Amino acid sequence: MPFGIKNAPSHFQRMMNEIFSEDISEGWFIIYIDDIIVCSKTCKEHMYRLSRVLTKFQSVNMKISLKKCHFGYKELKALGYAVSGLSLGIDKKKVAAVLLKPRPQNKKEIQSFLGFAGYYRQHIKDFASIARPLYKLCDKDTVFEMTVDRVKAFESLRQALTTAALLLMPDIKLPFKISIDA
C-alpha cells in the first residue's frame, strides 16, 4: 500500500474485507488494515484456516512478510485487545495506563478518556448510559465542571474497564439474541 495517499488505508481495508468476506462472516478471521488474526480451536483447524488464508493471498497476487508473521499462538495482544482462542478481551496493560492517570481536568482530557473507553464499549454493559454525563460535558457550549454525577460516571467507567466482559466469537449455527445499548 503506498504511503501518502490520503484514502489508501480505507481502500485497502475495503479490498481486504472483500477478499476475506466469507472468512470474516464465519467469525474466525479478524482484519484491520494489514493486521490479521486467524482464530481456531484446534491445531488441525488452524492449519486448515491458515492454508485457506494463504491461498487467497496467492490468488490475488499479494505477498506477506514471514518476518512479521506469528503462527500458532494460543494468546496474543493486538490492536489493544487480548485475543485467546475464540475470545476477545481488553489488553490489561492499556487499562493499567488509564488507571494511573488522574481525573480529567479539561474537555480535551475527557474526550481522550471517552475515546479510549468508547473503543471498548462492547465490553461494558450499559456503556451509553454510564458515559452520558461525560459526553454532555463535551458539548460545545457546556462549561467544564466535574460535578458529582460526572465524577461518578468517570469512576464507574474506569472501574468497568478493569472488570470488562470477555467476548466470545458467536456460534453461527445457534440462534442469536440481539440487544442494543443506545
Q: pTM above 0.95?
A: no
Helices 107-119 and 127-137, interaxial angle, to 10°? 160
Q: Residue 120's closest CA among 167, 63, 84, 54?
A: 167
Cell of 84: 485467546
**Residue at 76: amino acid letter:** L
Q: How many other β-carbons are positioned within 10 Å of the β-carbon of residue 165?
A: 14
Cα(137)–Cα(139) distance, integer angstroms: 6
> For the structural domain made of 92-162, what CATH number should be given?
3.30.70.270
Cell of 57: 493471498
One digit per residue, pLDDT tens: the chain, 182 residues? Answer: 555 677 888 989 999 999 999 999 888 888 888 888 888 888 899 999 999 999 999 999 999 998 988 888 888 888 888 887 678 899 999 999 889 989 999 999 999 999 999 999 999 999 999 999 999 999 989 999 999 999 999 999 999 999 988 888 777 788 988 887 66
Helices 107-119 and 148-162, interaxial angle, to 10°? 30
Helices 148-162 and 92-100, interaxial angle, to 10°? 150
